[in-house]
Structure 1
C-alpha cells in the first residue's frame, strides 16, 4: 500500500511536505506515507473508528460499507455491540470476516456512555473517529479531516458539516437545525454559538486520541455529546471544522435524540445551566434573562437549582409587562438600562430573534461572550 489517491471535496487546503499533498491540477490528495505501510511497520492503524451499536440491524450494513469504502486505508473499526437483541452482531461479524480492519466487541448492555468509554481504551490509532451505526460517512471523510489536522497542527478535534436524511422525514425544526449546523464555518462561530445547541454533530468528530482520553463521555442525565463538546470548548481545546457534508446523519423514530429522556429540552437546559455556571456565571449569582418562552423558562428553572437567580427579565409578551416572575421584574427591551451590570443570557428559539438581540446588545457596547451569551 505505497501511495493512495483520492479526490478532495470542495476547496480544502492541504499542506504538509510528507503526509498529505495536493496533486496540482487534478484536485486530488496523494497520501505519501513516512513508511510504506504504517500498519505493517508499527502494527497500529493511524485512525481508530469508534462505532457503538445497539439494535442497528436495519442500518448497520450501510454504515459499515461506508467505512469499508474510505479512500484512506489505514484504519481500524471497533464495533461495540451494546448487547443488541437483533441481527446487529451477525452483520458486524460478517464484516469482520470480510475485512480484518473491523473488530467486533460484544459487550453487555450498559448504554452508549459506558461502552463508548470502554471502546476508547481499546483504540490503537493516534486518532479516533466517531461514528454511529445508523449513519453514513463520505468516502473522503477521513482523508479530508486528516488534511485539516495537517493544515493546523494545533487542532485537537476536527468535525464537519452533515446532511440529515431521509429528507422526506425531516420536520421543519430538523431542517432548521441542519441549516444552523452547516452555517458554522469557523472556530470563532463555534465558540460564539456553543450554548445555542451542540454546534458539531458527534458522529462527525475526529479526535486526537489523547484529547479524547482527557474528555471521556459522562452520564449526567443530559446529552453526553453536548456535555463533552462544552467541556472541550470551555477548556480551550482547539476544534476545527471541515465545511463539507462528510456525514449523512440519519433521522428516524428510534434515534436516541427522539426517544431517550436525556435528550429532552429540559435536560438540554440543565446541561447548558451547568456549564454556564463555569462560564459567564462563574462568579455571578444574578443575571438578566432575555426571553421567557419555553426555552427561557427551562433555563431559568435549571439555573435556579444551581443558585443563580434572574434579577431582570426582558420580554415582548404584553401579558408579562410590569409583572414579576420569581422576583424578577419583566421589562421591554427599550427599558433596558445600558449601564446595568449583569451578565445577559438571551434565550430565544427563533434564529432571526437571536440576531436582533445580538445586534441590539452590541449597539449598546456589550461584548459577546464576555457580557452576554445567546442561549437557545
Structure 2
C-alpha cells in the first residue's frame, strides 16, 4: 500500500513545557500521512489544554483520557483508537527530525513485513548530557547503524522506545501493548526479538531524546534496576537458555546476587562463578561460589555474565574465546 498511515502513540503527563516543541516537530514532518493518539495519563498541569489546542488546528491529532493509570494503560488506550497500517511511539517531551516518519515508513515499504524500522538518536538537555547517557547513545547508534541490535539485547534496551516503527500485523504478532510487564519498552523489544522481526539498519539520527531530572525513566520505580534484571532473566530462560546444558552465573555483585536469588527461588540449578578470593568458597542463598576456572570442567555450559567493569568484561570475553565459546549462544552479558 502506498502512503500508509502511521499511528503515533503518545502518552503524556505533566509535560506542558515540552509539548509545543514536540508537536511542532510532528507537524513539520515531510511525511504527512500520520495520526497522533495522545493519551492524558492524569496530568495535573495544562498539558491537556495544550494538546486540545493543537487538535483543534489539525484533526490528525486526537486526545483521549487514560482508561487506567500509568504508561501501559495509556498505550493500550492509544492503540484501541488507532487505525494506521504502520505503528510507532513518540514521547511527549522529545523532538522528531523532520524526515523521521518518511525514512522509517520508506524503510518498511522497501523491506516489507517482518521488519522493525529504527533510527539513531541524540540526547539533549539544558544542562548537558552525562557520560552514562553519552556512552549509551554511542553504543545504541553503533548497533543501529548495522542492524545487529539483538546481539546485545541482554545488556540494555537495544531499540529506542520513541524511535521504532512496524507494520500493524507484526505488532499484533508481537503482542502489541497487551502484556503488563515493565519496563514496557524493553519488554516490547524482547517480543520483537522473540518473533524474529529483523532490524533495518539506519545510519541517520531521526530522534532527539530529551533528558531532565523528572523524566519518567529517571524517577519511576518501574525503571529500577531490579525490573531490568527480572525481564532479562525471564526472556533468557524463555528464549535462549537450553535446559539440557549447565547454567552458569558469573559475578557476585548486586546483579549477580539478584540473578542467583531468582534462580534459587525458581529452583533452577546453576554454578556460581567469581574471581574474588574473599567470596570463593562462601555460600550465598545456599549456593557456593567457585573460581571461574571451574568453567573449564563443565560440559557445554551456558553462562550469564553480570560483571559490569569494562576491563573485566574484555578479559572475560577473551577467556571464553580460549574455550571456543560464542556470544549469544554460549555466554550472555547482562550488563
Q: Same fold (TM over 0.5)?
A: yes
Structure-1 residue corresponding to 2:167:
208
Question: Equivalent residue of 1:207, what SS?
Answer: strand
Structure-1 residue corresponding to 2:323:
364
For residues 86-132 of structure 1, the C-alpha deviation after alignment (integer angstroms, 9 at most, x for no partner) is: 11111101111222221112334521101211211221111012101
Aligned mates of 2:272, 2:262 — CA distance in 1: 16
Q: 1:355 to 1:46 in 2, by over 3 A?
A: farther
Structure-2 residue corresponding to 1:269:
229
Structure-2 residue corresponding to 1:344:
303
Structure-2 residue corresponding to 1:252:
212
Structure-2 residue corresponding to 1:42:
none
* Structure 1 stretches of at least 4 aligned residues deviating more than 4 Å after TM superposition: 218-221
User: 1:264: how far off?
Assistant: 0.6
Structure-2 residue corresponding to 1:223:
183
The 5 A counterparts of 1:229-248 are 229-248=189-208
Q: 1:243 to 1:262 in 2, by over 3 A?
A: same
Aligned mates of 1:226, 1:305 — CA distance in 2: 23
Q: Which stretch of structure 1 is more off in the superposition, 354-363 or 292-301?
A: 354-363
Structure-1 residue corresponding to 2:8:
49
CA contact (8 A) 1:273 1:299 kept: yes
User: 1:374: how far off?
Assistant: 1.5
Aligned mates of 2:286, 2:69 — CA distance in 1: 43
Please say which structure displays the higher CA radius of gyration: 1
CA contact (8 A) 1:48 1:75 kept: yes
For residues 262-304 of structure 1, the C-alpha deviation after alignment (integer angstroms, 9 at most, x for no partner) is: 1111111111111111023352585111122222222222333
CA contact (8 A) 1:346 1:372 kept: yes
CA contact (8 A) 1:141 1:246 kept: yes
Structure 1 residues without counterparts, runs of 5 or longer:
1-18, 20-33, 39-44
In the superposition, the TM-score normalised over structure 1's length comes to 0.81
Structure 2 residues without counterparts, runs of 5 or longer:
none
CA contact (8 A) 2:22 2:92 kept: yes
Counterpart check, 1:120 vs 2:79: yes
Aligned mates of 1:275, 1:91 — CA distance in 2: 39
Structure-2 residue corresponding to 1:77:
36
For residues 2-34 of structure 1, the C-alpha deviation after alignment (integer angstroms, 9 at most, x for no partner) is: xxxxxxxxxxxxxxxxx9xxxxxxxxxxxxxx5
Q: 1:187 to 1:374 in 2, by over 3 A?
A: farther
Question: Equivalent residue of 1:185, what SS?
Answer: helix
Q: 1:352 to 1:158 in 2, by over 3 A?
A: farther
Aligned mates of 1:124, 1:132 — CA distance in 2: 19
Structure-2 residue corresponding to 1:87:
46
Q: 1:154 to 1:178 in 2, by over 3 A?
A: same
Q: 1:309 to 1:255 in 2, by over 3 A?
A: farther
User: 1:76: how far off?
Assistant: 1.4
CA contact (8 A) 2:145 2:202 kept: no
Question: Equivalent residue of 2:332, what SS?
Answer: strand
Q: Which stretch of structure 1 is more off in the superposition, 183-192 or 63-72?
A: 183-192
CA contact (8 A) 2:87 2:168 kept: yes
Structure-1 residue corresponding to 2:266:
306
